[in-house]
């Protein structure tokens, strides 16, 4: 069922529909003005699928930093950003001279579905032509088991005699900085594999795409092949009789130097192997997705179940085990912020992913360890010790925006250290802590030791000249989140150093005990920074001391803090503030308020495929940061999960609308188990 709201947003009424499908999203209107394309990914490659069912080379929607050509791939960057990749899965159908496209075709009985269980997009419609009608069906997916591989399969069944033309294309038109460096290898005519490769970007990264076609029946005429300079096209023509189905399946591989020392031949081998045994490839794809969904969150509210699956699906599309690749704020669905890495990963996306799939959560902390040398260079450039993790980090960890005030959002250091500690607590991996995690935490503590300022008059340590998480505030002194995060990291470093046999700096405890945390004396309310006077804030800031940092505050001080700042958000706020407010409300025993906080996130989800935007009124899709917040509201709010040295703890804070919540495949200290949360309590099974 498609969201009926004209604005394309998920409404409360629709969210409460008891008949919502928890796994399948559907569109029946290809011309809807607010339509947003489907998203599929496999942890390496991501693409948006328009109404035609395959990623056509023309952009269907120019919005939200949409990637030219529709495809993104990890590890291929210019200096700071992911480079848009070839449209390597183009398979365009024509009848006569008319292309099967949304803006040129008369479509009836249109239905497009996205199956979150398998990452498959299916499109079916009847294409009205002057001579009759053609039933067109397309299935597209990115292989979860062979992550450099994509498959698009189109069938056409006319009810009149006609000529059908299928064009297999690889298009690098949108490939930035191609600069004439592309070289096309001309394969022999007898070779069924066609390949295009290019060196791109200032690092001269070699990327290759190869395609193989499987046609039933065989084309009646030889394929027409054209090298375009930025790719290739090959057209196959079929004479179809009424009722005869023409089937063309394209196997395409996209490989970079990061994936193979020989991308050209690796891409050819991958495409050919899949075409030789399509049944094996397909079954391995389904099995890989099945294993992912062995860890899930199940609730008895259809609307919430739908939102949970949409959120997990989007994150799963952007993560794969053992890759050190993690999504930027819009993942592989869009190129907002160039795909660079922020605190969004450590504080927002990491916890729900790691609790369900530590093997995927490992990528977040491994990425930070890999880029630790860059973080040390950042600190040294400021004359400081230890590691200063970049506010916007790319391949090396060096700060990519040193000229902007946001480069002084130094609270990211504590967020990185917190994630490293939480990964150890979830996984129970002592080797990780000894070899990687401890160094991240200790080097972060060394940074804070050299970054603090001693205020002799007030006899306290301060941190001056930082950009708050609330970016509206600009540069301030004594941002409460920055200061408390630093104190938390210093105490954590003392503990971890002792556990792993590293020297303990006595200054860590002294500084942590005397770091100034601004607070209102009577109510105990956290004050965002020294000079905060009630201005509009961009997002949760002071509330983050309560969750996830766990500052010990009275219930009245926690209540005063979230109540005060809830009224300071802008009208079209980003999602994370609602998530944090809901978690704290649940902790305070107000399940109704926590439920309202969840409902407050609904306008960020857009029809028909529930892509999430940063705010209700912008098109920065798919906002992985906010999805991490929504999942934490369910896990840490409704289920009360807390990651502690004694293990993951839970408490039932279920709203009225939910009678049961089950977390399948929850991890704590290396154990995997299921957890049932009901109105009467929590049960481990």
Catalytic site positions: 471, 614
Contact yes or no for 543/561 (Cβ under 8 A): yes
Q: How many CB atoms lie within 10 A of CB 347?
A: 26
Beta-bridge mates of residue 24 = 115
Question: Which two three-digit tokens encode residue 346?
Answer: 């450590």
End-to-end CA distance of the chain: 35
SS3 530: coil
DSSP string, 547-592: TTT-----HHHHHHHHHHHHTTS-TT--HHHHHHHHHHHHHTT-HH
CA angle 70, 74, 75 (to 5 degrees): 130
Torsional class of 682: left (φ above 0), alpha (ψ -120 to 50), beta (otherwise): beta
Nearest Cα to Cα of residue 117 among 289, 310, 2: 289
Task: Kindly give, in sequence order, each residue whose CB lies less than 8 Å from that of residue 102, ignoring residues fewer than 6 positions away.
Answer: 30, 31, 50, 51, 52, 60
Question: Which two three-digit tokens encode residue 326?
Answer: 């993690």
Q: 614: which DSSP letter?
A: S
Using CA atoms, how far apart are residues 6 and 648, in angstroms rounded to an integer? 42
SS3 608: coil
* Peptide bond preceding 608 in cis form (omega within 30 of 0): yes
Using CA atoms, how far apart are residues 367 and 396, in angstroms rounded to an integer? 10
Using CA atoms, how far apart are residues 576 and 630, in angstroms rounded to an integer? 8
Q: 259: which DSSP letter?
A: T
Nearest Cα to Cα of residue 463 among 365, 548, 369, 388: 388
Contact yes or no for 195/187 (Cβ under 8 A): yes
CA angle 19, 24, 30 (to 5 degrees): 100
Contact yes or no for 67/83 (Cβ under 8 A): no
Q: How many CB atoms lie within 10 A of CB 293?
A: 18
Q: How many CB atoms lie within 10 A of CB 468?
A: 25
């Amino acid at each position: 069922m498609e969201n009926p709201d004209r604005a394309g947003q998920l409404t409360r009424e629709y969210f409460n529909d008891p008949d919502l499908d928890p796994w399948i999203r559907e569109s029946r209107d290809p011309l809807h003005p607010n339509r947003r394309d489907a998203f599929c990914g496999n942890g390496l490659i991501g693409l948006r699928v328009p109404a035609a069912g395959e990623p056509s080379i023309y952009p269907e929607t120019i919005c939200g930093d949409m990637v030219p050509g529709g495809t993104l791939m990890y590890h291929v960057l210019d200096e700071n950003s992911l480079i848009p990749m070839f449209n390597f899965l183009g398979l365009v159908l024509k009848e006569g001279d008319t292309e099967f496209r949304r803006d040129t075709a008369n479509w009836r009985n249109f239905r497009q579905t996205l199956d979150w269980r398998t990452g498959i997009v299916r499109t079916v419609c009847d294409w009205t032509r002057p001579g009759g009608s053609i039933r067109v069906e397309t299935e597209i997916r990115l292989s979860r088991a062979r992550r450099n591989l994509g498959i698009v399969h189109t069938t056409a069944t006319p009810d009149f005699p006609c000529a059908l033309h299928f064009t297999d294309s690889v298009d690098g038109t949108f490939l930035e900085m191609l600069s004439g460096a592309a070289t096309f290898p001309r394969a022999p005519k007898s070779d069924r594999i066609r390949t295009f490769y290019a060196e791109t970007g200032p690092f001269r990264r070699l990327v290759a795409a190869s395609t193989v076609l499987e046609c039933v029946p065989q084309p009646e005429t030889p394929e027409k092949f054209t090298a375009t300079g930025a790719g290739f096209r090959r057209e196959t023509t079929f004479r179809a009789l009424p009722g005869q189905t023409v089937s063309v399946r394209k196997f395409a591989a996209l490989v970079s130097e990061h994936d193979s020392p020989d991308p050209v031949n690796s891409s050819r081998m991958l495409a050919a192997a899949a075409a030789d045994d399509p049944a094996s490839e397909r079954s391995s794809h389904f099995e890989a997705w099945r294993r992912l969904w062995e860890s899930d969150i199940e609730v008895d509210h259809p609307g919430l179940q739908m939102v949970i699956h949409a959120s997990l699906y989007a994150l799963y599309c952007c993560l794969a085990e053992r890759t050190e690749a993690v999504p930027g704020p819009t993942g592989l669905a869009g190129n907002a912020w160039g795909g660079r890495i922020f605190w969004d990963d450590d504080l927002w996306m990491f916890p729900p992913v790691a609790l369900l799939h530590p093997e995927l959560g490992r990528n977040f902390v491994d990425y930070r360890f890999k880029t630790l040398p860059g973080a040390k260079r950042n600190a040294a450039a400021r004359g400081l010790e230890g590691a200063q993790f970049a506010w916007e980090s790319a391949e090396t960890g060096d700060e990519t925006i040193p000229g902007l005030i946001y480069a002084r959002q130094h609270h990211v250091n504590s967020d990185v250290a917190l994630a490293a500690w939480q990964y150890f607590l979830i996984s129970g991996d002592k080797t990780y802590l000894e070899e990687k995690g401890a160094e991240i935490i200790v080097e972060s503590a060394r940074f804070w030791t050299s970054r603090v300022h001693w205020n002799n008059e007030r006899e306290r340590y301060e941190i001056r000249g930082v950009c708050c998480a609330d970016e509206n505030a600009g540069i301030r002194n004594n941002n409460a989140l920055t200061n408390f995060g630093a104190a938390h990291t210093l105490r954590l470093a003392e503990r971890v150093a002792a556990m792993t046999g590293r020297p303990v700096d006595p200054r860590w405890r002294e500084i942590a005990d005397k770091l100034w945390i601004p607070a209102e004396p009577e109510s105990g309310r956290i004050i965002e920074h020294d000079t905060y006077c009630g201005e509009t804030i961009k997002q949760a800031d002071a509330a983050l001391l309560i969750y996830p940092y766990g500052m010990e505050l009275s219930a009245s001080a926690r209540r005063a803090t979230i109540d005060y700042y809830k009224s300071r958000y802008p009208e079209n706020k980003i999602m994370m503030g609602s998530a944090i407010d809901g978690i704290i409300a649940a902790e305070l025993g107000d399940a109704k308020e926590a439920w309202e906080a969840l409902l407050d996130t609904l306008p960020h989800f857009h029809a028909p495929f529930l892509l999430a935007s940063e705010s209700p009124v912008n098109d920065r899709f798919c906002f992985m940061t906010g999805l991490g917040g929504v999942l934490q509201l369910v896990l840490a709010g409704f289920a009360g999960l807390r990651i502690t040295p004694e293990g993951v703890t839970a408490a039932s804070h279920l709203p009225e609308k939910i009678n049961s919540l089950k977390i399948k495949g929850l991890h704590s200290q290396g154990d995997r188990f299921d957890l049932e949360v009901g109105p009467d309590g929590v049960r481990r099974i």
